[in-house]
Structure 1
Amino acid sequence: MSMLLRHVWKEALGRNHSRRFSSSLCTNQPYLILGGDYCGVDLIKGDNVGHLEYYDPCKGEVKVSEKIVPMEFLELMGRIGSSHGWVASLNTRDASMSLIDDLNPTTSLDSYPKRISLPPFVTLPYCQTQLVSNVAMSSASPEQEDCVLAVKFFGPQLSLCKPCSGPNTKWFNIRTPNRFFNSQVMYSRRNQMFCMAASGGHYTGSWDLHKHRHNPILNQLKLQNFPKLMQPELGLLDSCFRREDLVESPTGESFLVKWYDDGSSSYSDSEKSKTNKLFLVFKIDEEGNACYTQDIGDLCIFLSKSEPFCLHASLYSGLTPNSVYFVGFDDIGVCNLATSTVHQIPNINPDNYPSMTTFWLHN
C-alpha cells in the first residue's frame, strides 16, 4: 500500500518536478522542523502535499527531504509539541489530539505514515485545554504498550494517558500546584516519572500514573554557586520573560536551565551574536543541590516546544558541545555556555518560521 501511495504521489506531481533533495538523516540525529515545500496533490485523498523542510544542525544546512507530507501538517498551527520524533497535533474544534510521525525525515520514504488518534481532553474546573506548554512521552514510541503520554497545559492542568490502549484510552487529569502554571514537562528515565521545574526554579515536581498521580513528589532545589552578573545582565533578569526547564542527559545527569529572554531579535551584523538572552545551567545532585556551571562537557541541550532533551555532541559530528540549542520567541540560535555568547543560526529567517510551530526533534 505504501509503495502504491508513493507511486501515486509521484505521478500526481509529475515527472519533471526538479529539486535537489537531501539524503536521509542518520537515525536519532536531531533536526529542526521548519515547514514544507508545496509540490502537488495526493490523487487518493485530494490533499495538498509537500516535501518536508528541516534544518540539520550537524551540517548547518536547511534541507528538503524527499519525504512527502500533507501540507495541513506542515502549516498546521495546531502543532503543540513533540517527543521522540512524534509530533502532537491538537484539533481545537473538538479538543481531540493526534500523534503523527509524518514530520520525521528519518522514517522510511516508503513507510506509510503513522497516526494515533486520542480522545478529546476533559477540562478540569478553572483550567483550560486549548493552550499547551508541551508534551512528553515515557517511551520512544507511543505504540509501545507501556508508553505514557503527558500533556502540560498553560495553567494547572497536566493530563496523562496510555496511547496504546485502543478504545480504552482515556485521560487522567491532574491539578498541579500553581507554581507549575507555566512549566514544561519532561520524562525522567532515571526516576521513571514525569517532572517539571516550578516557576523560579526553586522546586521540582514529579508525577506518574500510580501512587504519585495525586500525591506528587515535591523537592526543593538549593541553587548554589550562582554567577556574579554584570549590570546589563541584572537588568535583563528583572525585565524579561523567564523559563525554567529540567533536562536529563543520556547517562542520567539532571540539569536545570534558567532561560531569560527580553523578546528582542536584534543581532549584530558582524558578530551575529547578542546579549539580550541569558542561559544559566545548574547541575542537580541526588540531595537537591543545584550548582551553577558553565561546563557540561560533551553535552548539548535542545530547548523549544518539544520535550527538552540532551545529547552527546561527539556522537553527532557537527554539533557544538557545551551549548544550548534553542527556539526563542522570534529567533533560533545556539548559546555557548563557556562564554555565555548567543549566536543566531545562519540560513534561517525566523520571520518565516513561527516559534510556536518550529521545534527540535530527535528519535
Structure 2
Amino acid sequence: MFLLVGGTRKLRSFSTAAAQPYLLVREREVTLKSSSERVVTLNLLDPCKLEMVKIPGKTLPTEVAKSLRIGSSKGWVAVTDLQNSKLRLTNLFNPCASSPTTITLPPLDGCYRGSVARVSKVSLSASPNQRDCVVAAKLFAPLVSLCRPGDSEWTHIETPNNFFTSAVMHSMRDQKFYLHSPHTAPTDLIKTCSDFPPVSPYRRFYFSDIPKTTQDLYQSSIFRTQYLVESPSGDSFIVIWCMAGGKMEKETSRLMCETKGFMVFKQDHGKKLCSYTQDIGDLCIFLGKNESFCVSATKYPGLNPNSVYFEGSETGFGFYQLSSNTVHDLTHLAPFSAFYLWLAPLE
C-alpha cells in the first residue's frame, strides 16, 4: 500500500512495490536495534513518477548498514566491509525484493601481490538466487576476480595494464563478461578460465561522423567518461558523458560538476562502426555507479523514452533527452547526498 504525503510516497511493505528502476539515496538511521542490527528509513526516488519513496522501519544487519556501497547489478547492491575485504551482495535496499537476502562472498585477502586491492565494479551474470550466477569483481588493479555464490575462494584473472580502471559488464547476448576501456582493443588478450564465462576486452569500432554541434559539446567538456550498455534486445551502445568544470559546494566542500550532455553510439557490427545516434527509440539508459543498464519506457510508463538517466555524487541526478539535447536536473527532488545508486528492476 502507498501513501502520498506531500509528493512523497511512504511504502508500508516491500512486497507492494512494482518491479521497476529506482534511485537509491542514502538511508537515514533511526535506531540502533542491537549490536548486530540497525533500523533505518530507506530513501528512494521513483523515476517513473518523479516522487520520493520512503520505507520506514527497515532492519539492516550492521555489516550491511555500515558497509561501503560499491555499486549495483541486476538490482542487487554490492557492499564491502570497511575493516576487511569481505564482499556481500544484498537486495535489502530494493523495494521490489520479495525475499530479502544478503549473500557473503569469499574474502579477497592477498588477491593482488599479497595485498588487498579495492573492488571498483561488480557485475552479475544473473540474479544471485539463480544457480548459474557468476560474480565478476573488477579491482583497482590489472585483475578481475570471478566466483559463484557459495564458492570458498575467487578465481583471479590478470588483465592488461590499460584495463587497470576499466568497467566490467555481463553481456546476455554474448554470454560473457566484457571489460570496457576508452581505447579499442583486440578480444583475445585475456587468458580465461573454462569454469566461468569468458572475460574479454570489448572491441569498440571507430566512431562515425559526428554533427558539428555534438563535436562542440565534446570539445567544450572538461571531463568525459565512457560507458558500455546493452539493450534488452541485445544492441550495444557506447555512451560518452560530457561534463563541464566544477564548482565547490559550500555545505559539503565537494567539487560539483555540471552535466552538459551525452553522446550515444550504436555498435554496428556489420559496418564495424560506432554509428552516432540521437534516436534509441523507447529505450532509457541508466548510468552511474551502477552497472549500466537499459530498459523500455513502454514497459515502465512514466519514464521518458529516448533518454539517458544519470546519477553521481559530483553531478546530482536527472535525465537527458537525446532528441532535444536537453538536460533535466532532478537533484532538488531528493535531499542531496554523497551517495546515489540506480537499481535495475529485479529479475
Q: CA deviation at 1:155?
A: 3.5
Q: Secondary structure at the residue paired with 2:220?
A: helix
How many residues are treated as equivalent by the alignment?
A: 324
Residues 311, 265 of structure 1: alpha-carbon distance in 2 compared, 3 angstrom cutoff:
farther
Q: Does 1:87 align with 2:52?
A: no
Q: Which shifted more, 90-99 or 168-177?
A: 168-177
Q: For 1:245-276, what per-residue CA distance to the aligned partner results, in whole angstroms no more than 9, with x for missing partners? A: 1111111111111112235379xxxxxxx974
Alignment TM-score, normalising by the size of structure 2:
0.82
User: 1 or 2, which has the higher strand percentage?
Assistant: 2
Distance of 1:231 and 1:323 partners within structure 2: 19
Instruction: Indicate conservation of the 8 Å contact 1:195/1:246, yes or no.
Output: no
Q: Secondary structure at the residue paired with 1:21?
A: strand
Which of residues 34, 40, 56 is equivalent to 1:50? Answer: 40
Q: For 1:70-102, what per-residue CA distance to the aligned partner results, in whole angstroms no more than 9, with x for missing partners? A: 285786451101111211111142211111111
- The residue identity in structure 1 corresponding to 2:322 is L
Distance of 1:147 and 1:303 partners within structure 2: 23
Where structure 1 has 5 or more consecutive residues not aligned to the other structure, the ranges are 1-18, 267-273
Q: Which shifted more, 215-224 or 49-58?
A: 215-224
Aligned to 2:92: 102
Q: Does 1:281 align with 2:264?
A: yes
Where structure 2 has 5 or more consecutive residues not aligned to the other structure, the ranges are 1-7, 249-256
Distance of 1:278 and 1:322 partners within structure 2: 13
Which of residues 291, 304, 316 is equivalent to 1:331? Answer: 316
Q: For 1:262-307, what per-residue CA distance to the aligned partner results, in whole angstroms no more than 9, with x for missing partners? A: 35379xxxxxxx9742311110123432101000000000011111
Q: CA deviation at 1:337?
A: 1.0
Q: CA deviation at 1:316?
A: 0.7
Which of residues 148, 158, 165 is equivalent to 1:182? Answer: 165
Q: Secondary structure at the residue paired with 2:281?
A: coil
Q: Does 1:34 align with 2:25?
A: yes
User: 1 or 2, which has the higher helix percentage?
Assistant: 1
Distance of 1:316 and 1:25 partners within structure 2: 13
Distance of 1:214 and 1:127 partners within structure 2: 25
Q: For 1:186-235, what per-residue CA distance to the aligned partner results, in whole angstroms no more than 9, with x for missing partners? A: 110000001132124x3475876428988836634121132323686244
**Identity among equivalent pairs (%):** 37
Instruction: Indicate conservation of the 8 Å contact 1:30/1:56, yes or no.
Output: yes
- Considering only aligned residues, what root-mean-square deviation do their CA atoms show, in Å? 3.1
Q: Secondary structure at the residue paired with 2:177?
A: strand
Aligned to 1:290: 274
Q: Does 1:314 align with 2:298?
A: yes
Instruction: Indicate conservation of the 8 Å contact 2:24/2:341, yes or no.
Output: yes
Distance of 2:114 and 2:236 partners within structure 1: 33
Instruction: Describe how 1:257-276 pairs up with structure 2 within 5 A.
Output: 257-262=239-244, 264=246, 276=259
Instruction: Indicate conservation of the 8 Å contact 1:36/1:50, yes or no.
Output: yes
Distance of 1:284 and 1:58 partners within structure 2: 28
Which of residues 178, 182, 185 is equivalent to 1:195? Answer: 178
Distance of 2:114 and 2:72 partners within structure 1: 26
Residues 318, 222 of structure 1: alpha-carbon distance in 2 compared, 3 angstrom cutoff:
same
Instruction: Indicate conservation of the 8 Å contact 1:88/1:135, yes or no.
Output: yes
Q: For 1:12-48, what per-residue CA distance to the aligned partner results, in whole angstroms no more than 9, with x for missing partners? A: xxxxxxx972363212x000111224343436x6633
Distance of 1:142 and 1:189 partners within structure 2: 15
Q: Does 1:342 align with 2:332?
A: no
